[in-house]
Amino acid sequence: MRSCVDGPDRGDGPVTADRTTIRAAVLDRPGVPTRIEELELDAPGEGEIRVRMLASGVCHSDLHVRDGEWERAGPIVLGHEGAGLVEALGAGVAERYPDLRPGALVALAWLIPCGRCRACRAGETWLCSASPSYTHRMPSGRTALHRPAIGGEAGDVLTYSAIGTFAERQNVPAAAAIAVNPATPPAVAALIGCCVTTGVGAMTKTADLRPGSRVVVIGLGGVGLSCVIGAALADAATIVAVDRIPAKLDLARALGATETLLAGDDDAETLAAIRDLTDGGPDVCAEAIGLPRTIELAIASLPTGGTALLVGMTPFGVRASFEAFPFVDGGRRIVGSNYGSAVPSVDFPRYAELHLAGRLPAERLVTRRIGLDDLEDAFAAMRRGEGVRSVIEFD
Ligand SMILES: NC(=O)c1ccc[n+]([C@@H]2O[C@H](COP(=O)([O-])OP(=O)(O)OC[C@H]3O[C@@H](n4cnc5c(N)ncnc54)[C@H](O)[C@@H]3O)[C@@H](O)[C@H]2O)c1
Ligand SMILES: [Zn+2]
Ligand SMILES: [Zn+2]
């Protein structure tokens, strides 16, 4: 069996690989710091490919797990916003996924459809309730990563959403790897894997914005700023960008926001300013943080017929409330948006082409380029609201 650890084989045929050693960020259990460890990665099994990671963004969903706000089994390699080069193919992949040739640039999807549940059968794969991605294992049920028996506790290691992108190399289900135009910068391809698809899709697909809409986006991280980009792509007439960090407002303007609003501690004041800037309230108010108070603010801001688009994710068990009578009387709506209602095989290449055409400036979201060892610093910066996306670049 040939080893392919020295780089991708650019030939046309299937490429096999040996077990290899990689560095990755492992979380033993939610709530403790990640550690960079050397792990053993199996050869890709049937229906799997090995990817040499080029870039991985750090998303707040990783931080939710890191900080113990979302329960997950461990040990697990976090990271779900990545891109890399196809390095080796497991059995059956070449026949079924002709795009996944060794050397192809792929953006990785954190949700692959099971193909059998009601949502998948209806073509709404972003609502899949039985996705193998949620098991954090390969679709076969196995894990491809292991702690070596010597120099630590031996055992299997899970991979977040079955892609675990905080790793130099990773085996992923072939269905999670979407080939994009190779001219796409790796950092942008990585962000297409989560925040770009989530935010742009929330506006253009879930909310299906009409041209001329009045839109508010609360929270301007990678997800919220992608909502701003999506609103601009959909020809919204008014885009009000709201955050508590002034630098985020400047970036939002550069990405298409027509108005910005610095949120202070007084939510009543923010609410009044939103109504003022949107001539009585927005058609769509997107919440891209995941806090009850900003979710309630988004709902309260709606005029008759308005929609609160919930994109931010709260810690498990958190509730938000609203006054029911005016909500019903005014025909208002609350809509959750998962993964920007994406069909990755269609939407990832499309977002990459929009970027290359200069219409989706995702590179502006990258505010720090870091190494794998800087992951905990990137989490700390995100907690402080500093910068937008930290992107890990692999050698
Ligand atoms: N729906 C989905 O499919 C999906 C996908 C990816 C991420 N998410 C979720 O989206 C959320 C945002 O992710 P991100 O990576 O952009 O996070 P982030 O931490 O980079 O951004 C959050 C932003 O909210 C701002 N903020 C915090 N409190 C605020 C307040 N009270 N008022 C105004 N602004 C405030 C921060 O300054 C920051 O700019 C997270 O909850 C994440 O889990 C959802
Ligand atoms: Zn994410
Ligand atoms: Zn399904």
Convert the pLDDT of each residue in 302-311 to its tens digit. Answer: 999 999 999 9
Q: Ligand 1 mean position to 22 CA, how many Å? A: 31
Q: Is 98 exposed, middle or buried (0-12, 13-18, 19+ CB in 10 A)?
A: exposed
For atom 25 of ligand 1, which residue has the closest CA?
Answer: 219
Strands (E), 58-179: 76-77, 82-89, 105-108, 145-147, 155-159, 169-173, 177-179
**Nearest partner of 353 among 179, 101, 144, 99, judged by Cα:** 179
Task: Report d(CA 372, CA 18) in Å as an integer.
Answer: 24
Q: Is 329 exposed, middle or buried (0-12, 13-18, 19+ CB in 10 A)?
A: exposed
Mean pLDDT score, 359-366: 98
Q: What is the pLDDT of residues 288-300, one digit of tens each?
A: 999 999 999 999 9
Q: List phi, psi (to 5°) of 88.
A: -155, 150
For atom 26 of ligand 1, which residue has the closest CA?
Answer: 219
Task: Report d(CA 362, CA 193) in Å as an integer.
Answer: 12
Q: Which ligand is nearest to the CA of 378?
A: 1
Contacts of residue 152, defined as CB under 8 A and 6 or more positions apart, other chains included, come to 37
338-342-344 Cα angle (round to 5): 130
Mean pLDDT score, 48-56: 98
Q: Ligand 3 mean position to 123 CA, how many Å? A: 9
- Taking residue 255's Cβ as centre, other Cβ atoms within 10 Å add up to 23
Q: Which ligand is nearest to the CA of 335?
A: 1
Q: Which of 60, 70, 78 to mutate to test the pocket of ligand 1 (most atoms within 8 A of CB)?
A: 60
Please report the atom of ligand 1 found closest to the CA of residue 248. Answer: 39
The per-residue pLDDT for 366 is 98
Handedness of CA 188, 216, 236, 340 (dihedral sign): positive
Q: Crossing angle of helices 246-254/222-233, nearest 10°?
A: 30
Ligand 1 neighbourhood includes 173 CB (under 6 angstroms): no
Q: Which ligand is nearest to the CA of 339?
A: 1
Are residues 33 and 376 in contact, defined by beta-carbon separation less than 8 angstroms?
yes
For atom 9 of ligand 1, which residue has the closest CA?
Answer: 312
pTM: 0.95
Ligand 1 neighbourhood includes 60 CB (under 6 angstroms): yes
Ligand 1 neighbourhood includes 194 CB (under 6 angstroms): yes
Q: What is the pLDDT of residues 6-23, one digit of tens each?
A: 333 433 444 567 899 999
Ligand 1 neighbourhood includes 57 CB (under 6 angstroms): no
Ligand 1 neighbourhood includes 313 CB (under 6 angstroms): yes
Q: Ligand 3 mean position to 126 CA, how many Å? A: 8
Query: Please, which residues bridge with residue 146 across strands?
Result: 40, 156
The per-residue pLDDT for 2 is 32
The per-residue pLDDT for 149 is 73
The per-residue pLDDT for 151 is 56
The per-residue pLDDT for 17 is 75
Ligand 1 neighbourhood includes 189 CB (under 6 angstroms): no
Ligand 1 neighbourhood includes 223 CB (under 6 angstroms): yes
Residue-averaged pLDDT of the chain: 94
Task: Calculate what percentage of the chain has a pLDDT beyond 70.
Answer: 95
Give the largest Cα separation in the chain, rounded: 68
Q: What is the pLDDT of residues 210-244, one digit of tens each?
A: 999 999 999 999 999 999 999 999 999 999 999 99
Ligand 1 neighbourhood includes 342 CB (under 6 angstroms): no
| Cβ density class 117-132: b for 16+ within 10 Å, e for less | bebbeeeebbbbeebb
Are residues 108 and 176 in contact, defined by beta-carbon separation less than 8 angstroms?
yes
Stretch among 14-28, 82-96, 175-189, 255-269 having the lowest mean pLDDT: 14-28
The per-residue pLDDT for 86 is 98
Residue written as token pair 């391809």: 189
Please report the atom of ligand 1 found closest to the CA of residue 59. Answer: 15
Task: Report d(CA 56, CA 61) in Å as an integer.
Answer: 13
Res 195 pLDDT > 80:
yes
The per-residue pLDDT for 5 is 32
Q: Crossing angle of helices 267-277/292-300, nearest 10°?
A: 40
Is residue 323 helix, strand or coil? coil
The per-residue pLDDT for 107 is 99
Ligand 1 neighbourhood includes 252 CB (under 6 angstroms): no
7 DSSP assignment: S
Ligand 1 neighbourhood includes 193 CB (under 6 angstroms): no
Mean pLDDT score, 345-369: 98
Contacts of residue 93, defined as CB under 8 A and 6 or more positions apart, other chains included, come to 14, 44, 47, 48, 49, 100, 174
Strands (E), the chain: 20-27, 35-41, 48-57, 76-77, 82-89, 105-108, 145-147, 155-159, 169-173, 177-179, 214-218, 238-243, 259-262, 284-287, 307-310, 333-336, 366-370, 389-393
Ligand 1 neighbourhood includes 263 CB (under 6 angstroms): yes
Ligand 1 neighbourhood includes 306 CB (under 6 angstroms): no
25 DSSP assignment: E
Residue written as token pair 């192809």: 104
At 148, is the pLDDT very low, low, confident or very high (cuts 50, 70, 90)? Answer: confident
Task: Report d(CA 97, CA 135) in Å as an integer.
Answer: 23
The per-residue pLDDT for 8 is 36
CA 60 to chain centre: 9
Ligand 1 neighbourhood includes 339 CB (under 6 angstroms): yes
Q: Ligand 3 mean position to 244 CA, how many Å? A: 38
Query: Please, which residues bridge with residue 92 across strands?
Result: none
